[in-house]
Copies of this chain bind each other. A is one copy, B any other.
Amino acid sequence: MEFKKILERDSKVSWKKYVPTLSIDCAIFSFKDSSLQVLTIKMKGQDSFGLPGGYVQKDENIDDAAIRILKNRTGTENIYLQQFYTFGNLNRSEGVFKDYDDSLWNKQRFISIGYYALTDHAKVNLNIDDISTACEWKSIDDLPPFMMDHREILDKALITLREQLSNHPIGYNLLPEKFTMPELQKLYEIILDKKLNRGNFYRKILRYDILTKLDESRKGGAHKAPDLYSFNLEEYNKALKEGFKGSW
């Protein structure tokens, strides 16, 4: 079906089904090939990319709406999903639906609640729906142009993610179950976009007590086999909820 027809058909349903004024946009991150990646979609009729999003049903909590939207796009749930900021400037979508009737649902003013998610690359099954032509991972080092204010939403998600690193653990869902210290440090360096001192990083991360040193090491390299670690999920989840102790 033609894109315009689909939108007009969906519009009637949307007015009945969703709460007005509110949308959700998701910055879904994953870690692959030593790079932080973000999930992008391309809507039919648009040249630029966008973040996957959706609306809040009238009988739905906003967190549940975010989980549903994420599941529709990636096939996964039970992943780390965090609301980070709400974007409400006037004219956020100006221009995008200018050729449509003013009664079109999508043409209304929307205030968008941003969520970010950290997902395991291997578990995600991307889903292209009938209003998009692409759904793909992009490295944050090589981003395409974004529609509307989606680049601003993504940048704010990244800033939040970086700031969260001072108070909260990260890595679960992004690293394999068993990983080496250099791999964990690399993840931090990529998110923070800077080199870290090895000794300081080790001291700090070990003090947070979220790692379990395994009784095995990574075989195969030319060097001494590096020790393997996994997250102590009990401590990890506690720190995720309550924050690290003793930052001040």
Q: Which residues of A contact B (CB under 8 A)?
A: 19-22, 56, 58-63, 83, 85-86, 88-90, 109, 111, 113, 162-163, 165-167, 188, 192, 196, 201, 204, 243, 247-248
CB closest chain-B residue, reference A110 = B19
Report B-chain residues with C-beta under 8 Å of the C-beta of A88: 22, 56, 61-63, 113
CA A22 to CA B247, docked complex, whole Å: 35
Say how far A94's CB is from chain B's closest CB, in angstroms.
Answer: 13
Q: In chain B, what residue has the closest Cβ to A168?
A: B163
Q: In whole angstroms, what is the CA distance A88 to B114 when docked? A: 13
Report the nearest B residue to A200, measured CB to CB: B248
A19 B109 Cβ-Cβ under 8 A? yes
Chain B residues within 8 Å of A61, by CB:
88-90
Contacting residues, chain B, for A162 (C-beta < 8 A): 243
Chain B residues whose CB sits within 8 angstroms of the CB of A83 once the complex forms: 85-86
| Cβ of A26 to closest chain B Cβ, rounded Å | 14
Task: Out of B21, B62, B163, B167, name the residue touching A20 (CB < 8 Å).
Answer: B21
> What secondary structure prevails in chain A residues at the interface with B?
mixed
Task: Give complex CA distance A28, B19 in Å.
Answer: 28
A87 and chain B: residue at smallest CB distance: B62
With A109-B19, A111-B19 in contact, is A86–B86 under 8 Å at CB? Answer: yes
Can you offer 16 A-B residue contacts whose CB atoms are under 8 A?
A19-B20, A19-B111, A21-B21, A22-B88, A22-B111, A59-B90, A60-B90, A62-B89, A83-B86, A86-B86, A88-B113, A162-B243, A163-B243, A165-B247, A165-B248, A166-B167
Contact B188 A248 (CB under 8 A): yes
- Looking across the interface, which residue of chain B has its beta carbon closest to that of A57? B90
Pairwise interchain contact B113-A86, C-beta atoms closer than 8 A = yes
How long is the Cα–Cα vector from A59 to B88 in the complex, in angstroms?
Answer: 11
By a CB distance below 8 angstroms, the chain B residues around A90 are 59-61
Residue pair B163, A109 in contact (C-beta under 8 Å): no
Tell me whether A196 and B111 are in contact in the complex, defined as CB-CB below 8 angstroms, given that A19-B21, A59-B90, A61-B89 are known contacts. no
Name the one of B59, B63, B166, B248 contacting A248, with C-beta atoms under 8 angstroms.
B166
Nearest B residue (CB) for A89: B61
Task: Report the separation of the CA atoms of residues A184 and B1 in the bound assembly, to the nearest whole angstrom.
Answer: 64
CA distance A85 to B192 in the complex (A): 23
